[in-house]
Structure 1
Amino acid sequence: MQINYEHIHPDFQHLMSLSKEERTYSLDQDFMIYYPKAKEVIQVMSNFMNKPKKNRMQNLLLIGDPNMGKTTIAKKFYAMNPNKKMETLDGTTTLKPVIYVNIQGSSEKEFYTSILDQFWAPYRVSHSTLKLKQQAIHLLKICQVKTIIFDELHNLLRGTPTKQCTILDQIKNLSNELMIPMIGVGTKAAATLLYNDPQLVSRFDIIKLNKWDLNQEFRGLLQSFEKRLPLKKPSFLASKEKAVLLYELCQGNLGYLHQVLIACAEYAIEKDIEEITQEIIETIMDKKLAQITNPKDYATS
Structure 2
Amino acid sequence: MSKTPIIGSSPEVEAKVASFMSERLLHDSLSDCITLIGSMRLSGVHHRKKARGMLISGPSGVGKSTIAERLLELSPRREEVDRTIVPVLYVELSGQPTAKVIGSNLLEALGDPHSESGSAEDRLFRAAELMRACGVELIILDEFHHIANLDPRKREIALDTIKNLMNKTFIPILLLGANSSKAIVRANPELSRRCTPKIQLEPFSTEDAEHLHDFRRLLKAFHELLPTTGPSALIDASNTGPLYQACHGLIGQLSQLLEMALKATLYGKSQTLSQEALRWAFERTVYPGCKRHRNPFDAKFDGKPLVGSGEPFHDMHA
Shorter-normalised TM range: 0.7 to 0.9
Confirm or deny that 1:177 pairs with 2:174: no
Aligned to 2:93: 103
Q: C-alpha separation between the residues in 2 aligned to 1:227 and 1:40?
A: 23
Aligned to 1:269: 266
TM-score, scaled to structure 1: 0.83
Aligned to 1:94: 84
Summarize deviations over 1:141-165 as a string: whole Å, max 9, x none: 2223212100010111111111111
Question: What is the aligned counterpart of 1:61 among 47, 55, 58?
Answer: 55
How far the C-alpha of 1:191 sits from its partner, in A, is 1.0
Counterparts in 2 of 1:93 and 1:157: CA distance versus 1, 3 Å:
same
One-letter amino acid matched to 2:313: K
> Is the Cα contact below 8 Å between 1:60 and 1:206 reproduced in 2?
yes
Secondary structure of the residue aligned to 1:163 is helix
> Is the Cα contact below 8 Å between 1:81 and 1:98 reproduced in 2?
yes
> Please, what is the CA RMSD of the aligned residues?
2.4
TM-score, scaled to structure 2: 0.79
Aligned to 2:198: 206
One-letter amino acid matched to 1:264: A
Question: What is the aligned counterpart of 1:191 among 163, 182, 202?
Answer: 182
How far the C-alpha of 1:106 sits from its partner, in A, is 2.0
Summarize deviations over 1:33-70 as a string: whole Å, max 9, x none: 13222222222111111103243332111111112221
Q: C-alpha separation between the residues in 2 aligned to 1:124 and 1:271?
A: 48
Secondary structure of the residue aligned to 1:68 is coil
Counterparts in 2 of 1:142 and 1:279: CA distance versus 1, 3 Å:
closer
How far the C-alpha of 1:20 sits from its partner, in A, is 6.4
Q: C-alpha separation between the residues in 2 aligned to 1:244 and 1:150?
A: 35
Q: C-alpha separation between the residues in 2 aligned to 1:193 and 1:259?
A: 30
Structure 2 regions of 5+ residues with no counterpart? 1-8, 207-211, 289-310
> Is the Cα contact below 8 Å between 1:223 and 1:236 reproduced in 2?
no
Structure 1 regions of 5+ residues with no counterpart? 1-18
> Is the Cα contact below 8 Å between 2:108 and 2:115 reproduced in 1?
no
How far the C-alpha of 1:238 sits from its partner, in A, is 2.6
Secondary structure of the residue aligned to 1:157 is helix
Aligned to 1:127: 118
Larger deviation: 169-178 or 232-241?
232-241
Secondary structure of the residue aligned to 1:148 is strand
One-letter amino acid matched to 1:101: V
Q: Residues 1-301 of structure 1 correspond to what in structure 2 (within 5 A)?
A: 22-28=12-18, 29-51=21-43, 52-84=46-78, 92-104=82-94, 105-123=96-114, 125-204=116-195, 205-214=197-206, 215-235=212-232, 237-284=234-281, 287=283, 289-290=284-285, 292=287, 294-300=311-317
Counterparts in 2 of 1:197 and 1:223: CA distance versus 1, 3 Å:
same
Counterparts in 2 of 1:280 and 1:135: CA distance versus 1, 3 Å:
closer
